[in-house]
């Protein structure tokens, strides 16, 4: 079983997967975000609090959400497209600013 810090878990978890701490707290990744699984907060969106950063997490598939995992590839493709678009916008702005205000090493 592979263990992840909170930040690593956020980067690795995919739609339809759940992450569990050694003490049994669980979250699930859905198309709507990261949700608590079980307990009094079950189904609510996870708020990133400082105590989460000290936990380690194990990721696995969640059988109860498997039908939603069929949307996984389409959702991840859309996420990648959004990231690429954001990167391209920032890159173009950087290059434009660099052309307008050349530095000493240009």
Residues 5-33: tens digit of each pLDDT: 999 999 999 988 999 999 999 999 988 88
CB distance 20 to 57 below 8 Å = yes
Query: What's the average model confidence in pLDDT over 72-82?
Result: 88
Residue burial 41-58, b: 16+ Cβ < 10 Å; e: rest: eeeeebeeeeebeebebe
What pLDDT score was predicted for residue 99? 87
Locate 32 and state its tokens: 């709507």
Dist. CA 94–CA 52, nearest whole Å: 35
**Among candidates 87, 33, 26, 31, which has minimal Cα distance to 62?**
26
Q: Is the pLDDT of residue 64 over 80?
A: no
What pLDDT score was predicted for residue 46? 95
What pLDDT score was predicted for residue 66? 61
Q: Is the pLDDT of residue 53 over 60?
A: yes
Task: Please tell me the pTM assigned to this model.
Answer: 0.70
Paired residues of 61 in beta bridges: 17
């Amino acid at each position: 079983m592979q263990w992840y810090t909170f930040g690593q878990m956020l980067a690795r978890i995919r739609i339809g997967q759940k992450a569990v701490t050694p003490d049994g707290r669980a979250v699930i990744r859905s198309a709507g975000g990261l949700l608590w699984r079980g307990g009094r907060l079950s189904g609510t969106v996870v708020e990133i609090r400082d105590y989460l950063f000290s936990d380690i997490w194990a990721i696995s598939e969640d059988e109860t959400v498997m039908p939603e995992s069929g949307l996984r590839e389409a959702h991840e493709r859309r996420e990648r497209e959004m990231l690429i678009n954001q990167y391209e916008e920032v890159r173009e702005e950087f290059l434009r600013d660099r052309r307008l205000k050349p530095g000493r090493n240009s």
